[in-house]
Amino acid sequence: MENATRRPALLAGILIGGLVIAAMGGHAWAQTRELAIGEQPGLIPDAREETVSATFQRQGVFYRTNEPPGTIIIDTVYRHLYLVQENARAIRYGIGVGREGFEWQGLLRVSRKAEWPDWTPSSEVSMRQPNLPRFVKGGPGNPLGARVLYLGPTYRIHGTNQPQTIGNAVFAGCFRLVNADVMDLYSRVQVGTKVVVRQRPTL
């Protein structure tokens, strides 16, 4: 029954996302409209749903930057997060970007880390989805996913129980990764890590 009730929402989100990408010439990174999907606390995706497209799969890449190894660079235009490594390399992760993630660019630092965090919807999210619970305990069906890196009081890098949102703009949250990726990133990053958020392409 759970699978039957969640499929329409998943398919609707994927269909709308696909139409937007097609309209933009097939470039997912060019999407500026939000994926039409709300928060779904309690949804637990299966392994097939956790598999993202090749463009957004975690991988080592050549990456030239003046930032030192260990720095996180978030590219909201191309929907990628880079963890800078030695010798012009980086680990690249696919991300989904929430509205708060589009409202700011600059330098931040990881201020706190948490495993399986609890979730309290913001007033904006509650207004948009009035039937949501006011509190969701940490776990596989939590919208913040398996791990969260807090970037001060406002911003955060977190997991998700909606893997189909990776590569897209969404209404809520900041910077989301599939759970396997956010767990990998979490294991590599310490409190105090520098985070650079970029809102436009760099040459």
Q: What CATH number has the domain bearing residue 105?
A: 2.40.440.10
| 129 found inside a domain | yes
- Whole-number Å distance between alpha carbons of 77 and 167: 10
- In the three-class reduction of DSSP (H, G, I as helix; E, B as strand; rest coil), residue 52 is classed as coil
Q: Is pLDDT larger for residue 110 or for residue 48?
A: 110
Q: Is residue 75 part of a domain?
A: no
More confident residue, 16 or 68: 68
d(CA 89, CA 160): 26
Decide if 9 is inside a domain. Answer: yes
Examine the pLDDT at 18 and tell me if it is beyond 80: no
Structural domain including 164 reads 2-55+95-198
Inter-residue contact 144 to 159 (CB < 8 Å) = yes
Sequential DSSP letters for 111-158: -EEEES--B---HHHHHHSTTS-S-B-SSTT-TT-SEEEEETTTEEEE
Top-confidence residue, 132 or 119: 119
What distance lies between CA 142 and its chain's CA centroid? 14
Kindly state whether residue 50 falls inside one of the protein's structural domains.
yes
Query: In whole numbers, what is the pLDDT of the chain averaged over residues?
Result: 81
Q: What is the pLDDT of residue 147?
A: 97
Region 53-77 average pLDDT: 96
Q: Summarize the confidence of residues 122-132 as an average pLDDT.
A: 75
Per-residue pLDDT of 75-88, as tens digits, reads: 999 999 999 999 99
Per-residue model confidence (pLDDT) at position 59: 98
Q: Whole-model pTM above 0.85?
A: no
How many domains in the chain? 1
Q: Residue 127 falls within a domain, yes or no?
A: yes
Q: What token pair was written down for 142? A: 């939590």
